[in-house]
Amino acid sequence: MRPFDKSFLTPTCPAQREVGNILKVTQLSKSFTGLSVFKNLNLEVPNGVFCALIGPSGCGKSTFFDVLMGVLPMDSGEISWGGRSVNDLKHIAAYMQQKDLLLPWFSLEENALLPAKILKGQKKDGRKAVRDLFARFGLSGFENYLPHQVSGGMRQRAALVRTLTFDRELVLLDEPLSALDALTRSILQEELLNLQLEFGKTVLMITHDVEEALLLADDVVILSSSPMRLLERIHITSAKPRRPSDPEIGRYKEIVLSELKRELTVAQ
C-alpha cells in the first residue's frame, strides 16, 4: 500500500530542462572492506537544477560526495559532465562542507580570496568579485574581521562566498547550514536560493532537513540507508521563492516524510 498518490510525482528530469551541462552518475558503487555503502547508483542532474539529497543520517551521502569529488576512489561506475566522462568532479565542482573551514589566521576577505590565490587560471580581479559578493551577502564592512570575531552565520556566508569564487558551474553542498541556528538558517536558505536563481548554478545539496530541501530544491531525491539507494525522486513544481506555510509545500513534506518513515520501518 502506497501512503500517497503516485501520480502527484512528475517524471524525473523533464526533457525541456536538458540543456547545457548535465551531471550524470551511472552505476556508481563504493564499499568499505566488503561493506557496500552504495551500489549501482544512478543520478542525473540537469543544468541549472537545484537537487537536494535527503536521507537518514549515516546512509552514505557524504561518502557519495567524497567519491564524486575524487577524495575517495570509486569501486566502479561512471561520472560524466556535459556528456564527457570524468574521473571525478575535482576540477568541475565547488565543494562546501558543513564546517566553514575558514582559516583562523586570515580575515574573511583573505579567506574568500584563497581560491583566487591558489587555483590556476583564476581571474585576476578576484578582490573586486569578492567585495561584490560580500556586499551581496551582507558582509560589507566585515572584510578585515577574523573568523572568530564574527557570528557563525557570517562565517558560513564567508565560506559560501569562497565556494562561489571557485567559479564553477556545479556546486556540491554537504549540509551547509545544519550547524546554524534556525533564524540564521532561514536567512541563508533565502540567500542560497537567490544565488542559484541569479547565477544559474547547478546545485547538489545534502541535507537532512526536509523543509530546507522543499524550499530550495527543484528535485528532491530520497535516499535509503545501507546500502544507499535512490528511493524516490520528486520534482517540486511550486514557484520560487516558496514559504514553509505554502499548502503545496506541506503536501510535499508529508510525501517525503512518509517515504522516509517507510524506509526506516523497512530497515528495522
Rounded to the nearest whole angstrom, what is the least distance from the CB of residue 112 to other proteins in the complex? 13
| Contact status: 84 vs other proteins (CB under 8 A) | no
| Contact status: 197 vs other proteins (CB under 8 A) | no
Binder among 9, 13, 86, 114 for other proteins (CB under 8 A)? 114
| Contact status: 176 vs other proteins (CB under 8 A) | no
| Contact status: 104 vs other proteins (CB under 8 A) | yes
Q: Which is nearer to other proteins, 13 or 69 (CB)?
A: 69
| Contact status: 2 vs other proteins (CB under 8 A) | no
Binder among 64, 95, 134, 142 for other proteins (CB under 8 A)? 95
Pairing of strands 23-32, 202-207: unpaired
| Contact status: 47 vs other proteins (CB under 8 A) | no
Rounded CA gap, 87 and 221, in Å? 23
Bond preceding residue 241 cis, omega within 30 of 0: yes
Rounded to the nearest whole angstrom, what is the least distance from the CB of residue 101 to other proteins in the complex? 5
Q: Using the CB atoms, write b or e for 197-235: b if 16+ within 10 Å.
A: eeeebbbbbbbbbbbbbbbbbbbbbbbbbebbbbbbbbb
Binder among 103, 135, 197, 257 for other proteins (CB under 8 A)? 103
Identify whether the C-beta of residue 54 lies closer than 8 Å to the C-beta of residue 211.
no
Identify whether the C-beta of residue 172 lies closer than 8 Å to the C-beta of residue 94.
yes
Rounded to the nearest whole angstrom, what is the least distance from the CB of residue 190 to other proteins in the complex? 26
Judged by CB under 8 A, how many residues of this single chain contact other proteins?
20
Q: Which is nearer to other proteins, 10 or 149 (CB)?
A: 149
| Contact status: 150 vs other proteins (CB under 8 A) | no
| Contact status: 9 vs other proteins (CB under 8 A) | no
Eight-state DSSP code of residue 17: G
Rounded CA gap, 3 and 9, in Å? 13
Binder among 29, 31, 44, 69 for other proteins (CB under 8 A)? 69
CA-based torsion, 20, 11, 223, 217: positive or negative? positive
| Contact status: 143 vs other proteins (CB under 8 A) | no
Rounded CA gap, 53 and 234, in Å? 11
Q: Which is nearer to other proteins, 21 or 111 (CB)?
A: 111
Rounded CA gap, 158 and 164, in Å? 10
Rounded CA gap, 202 and 52, in Å? 11
Footprint on this chain of other proteins (rule: CB under 8 A): 69, 71, 90-91, 95, 97, 99, 101, 103-106, 114-115, 117-120, 146, 148
